């Protein structure tokens, strides 16, 4: 089995948060190498798929770069990439068949975003026998590809078995997705029915506030959208862009199909973020309707009673009891440190009555999730057991997160 080594001529990403793509690099073919050398290289990891070329692209980073310690693996891969290797789907499939499910436990962390999922990924990283990957973005890329369900399942299985090389002593693999990854959760279950499925969420209003503060940084797409949709000429350009990319937008956020491209633009960033939130919640409901055993956790409960929630989460994922205390040490860290989403880089942004009206109008279009405080059936709950000072502390924590 062989692979192709490429030289990186130029890095071409235009935004830190955009979904990975084979067009992120301008590449020059160098030589043919043994595929096994690529798989065995401890500095090489799967980055994305090149669907037109029917190959997977792996990147090599310097030995001193530890991708397992980065809050956003895909950003670190791009930033530190020195070489790229192309492995054909045929070769990767053979490798996938040889490896099989090389882990004893597989934990998959889905979320609406901005609800503590990165922290949970770091918690898994504290477990001695666990490999914890925070946002390998090939899964987001697959969501955006126009593939059949059978093709999606095949690629999910192939990529997951090759997302990281097997490491001696590591028998538990945890993968934390970006929010759009949940769009394929039911198909992931077809590929890995024995995995532990987690879904994390929070109140829609606090989600919107957190997302605006984190993602509307200068010159980001959300920042540009925030300005452009207010200007008549720019608004027309946005409507053309949304119409041109409508099918892809629906793949990333299925609830968007309830809105026309014109409506998506007119709702502005708050409305689009609410649609993103509702889409993820909708997919969790689909998992429950498909009888997938998914543990649902609320951010508010984690803030209010972290010890109880984390213990329950880890037990659900088959983490040994003696390893649970060490996971709580991650609570004192900024899970997104050294990234554009670090606490010290967040912007000020306040939720207004007009914003609340937009959120309300969006959710009124959903058949089930019709309020910002919608709570998923069967969620692990802490609040009902809180009393006195604990209940007061939880209420204050939630208000602060709204801002």
pLDDT at 395 over 70: no
73-90 residue pLDDT tens: 999 999 999 999 999 999
Return the CA Rg of the chain.
21
pLDDT at 397 over 90: no
Q: What's residue 12's pLDDT?
A: 97
CB 196 within 8 A of CB 316: yes
Q: What is the pLDDT of residues 123-173, one digit of tens each?
A: 999 999 999 999 999 999 999 999 999 999 999 999 999 999 999 999 999
User: What percentage of the chain exceeds 70 in pLDDT?
Assistant: 91
CATH number for the region 100-403 comes to 3.40.50
- Alpha-carbon distances, residue 93 vs 100, 135, 158, 171, 183 (angstroms): 10, 22, 6, 22, 23
Q: Is the pLDDT of residue 117 over 70?
A: yes
- 394 pLDDT higher than 60: no
User: Residue 378's pLDDT is what?
Assistant: 84
186 has a pLDDT exceeding 70: yes
Report the alpha-carbon distance of residue 254 to residue 47 in Å, rounded. 25
CB neighbourhood size of 26 (10 A): 12
Distances (CA, A) of 189 to 76, 153, 158, 159, 291: 28, 9, 14, 14, 10
What is the chain's mean pLDDT, rounded?
92
Q: Give tens-digit pLDDT for 307-358.
A: 999 999 999 999 999 999 999 888 877 665 554 455 555 678 999 999 999 9
Q: Report the pLDDT value the prediction gives residue 79, as an integer from 0 to 100.
A: 97
- pLDDT higher than 80, residue 369: yes
Q: Where are the domains of the chain?
A: 1-99, 100-403
- pLDDT tens across 18-49, in order? 999 999 999 999 999 999 999 999 999 999 99
Q: For residue 14, count CB atoms less than 10 angstroms from its CB and return exposed for 0-12, middle for 13-18, buried for 19 or more.
A: exposed
């Amino acid at each position: 089995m062989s692979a192709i080594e490429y030289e990186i001529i130029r890095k071409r990403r235009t935004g830190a948060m955009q979904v990975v793509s084979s067009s992120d690099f301008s590449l020059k073919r160098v030589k043919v190498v043994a595929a096994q050398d690529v798989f065995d290289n401890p500095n090489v990891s799967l980055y994305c798929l090149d669907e037109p070329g029917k190959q997977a692209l792996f990147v090599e980073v310097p030995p001193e770069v530890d991708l397992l310690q980065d809050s956003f693996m895909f950003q670190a891969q791009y930033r530190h990439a020195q070489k790229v290797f192309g492995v054909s789907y045929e070769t990767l499939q053979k490798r996938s068949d040889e490896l099989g499910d090389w882990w004893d436990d597989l934990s998959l962390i889905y979320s609406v975003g901005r609800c503590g999922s990165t922290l949970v990924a770091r918690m898994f990283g504290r477990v001695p026998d666990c490999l914890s990957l925070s946002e390998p973005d090939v899964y987001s890329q697959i969501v955006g590809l126009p593939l059949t369900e059978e093709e999606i399942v095949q690629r999910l299985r192939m990529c997951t078995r090759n997302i990281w090389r097997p490491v001696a002593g590591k028998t538990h693999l945890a993968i934390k997705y970006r929010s759009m990854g949940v769009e394929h959760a039911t198909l992931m279950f077809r590929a890995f029915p024995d995995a532990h499925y987690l879904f994390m969420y929070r109140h829609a209003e606090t989600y919107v506030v957190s997302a605006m503060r984190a993602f509307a940084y200068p010159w980001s797409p959300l920042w540009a959208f925030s300005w452009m949709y207010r200007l008549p000429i720019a608004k027309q350009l946005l409507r053309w862009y949304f119409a041109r990319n409508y099918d892809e937008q629906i793949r990333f956020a299925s609830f968007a199909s309830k809105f026309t491209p014109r409506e998506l633009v007119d709702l502005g960033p708050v409305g689009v973020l609410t649609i993103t939130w509702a889409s993820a919640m909708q997919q969790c409901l689909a998992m429950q309707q498909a009888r997938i055993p998914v543990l649902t956790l609320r951010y508010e409960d984690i803030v209010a009673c972290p010890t109880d929630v984390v213990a329950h989460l880890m037990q659900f994922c088959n983490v040994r009891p003696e390893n649970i205390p060490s996971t709580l040490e991650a609570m004192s860290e900024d899970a997104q440190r050294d990234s554009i989403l670090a606490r010290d880089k967040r912007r000020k942004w306040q939720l207004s009555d007009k914003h609340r009206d937009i959120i309300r109008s969006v959710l009124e279009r959903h058949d089930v999730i019709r309020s910002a405080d919608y709570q998923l059936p069967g969620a692990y709950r802490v609040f009902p057991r809180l009393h006195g000072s604990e209940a007061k502390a939880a209420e204050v924590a939630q208000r602060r997160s709204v801002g």
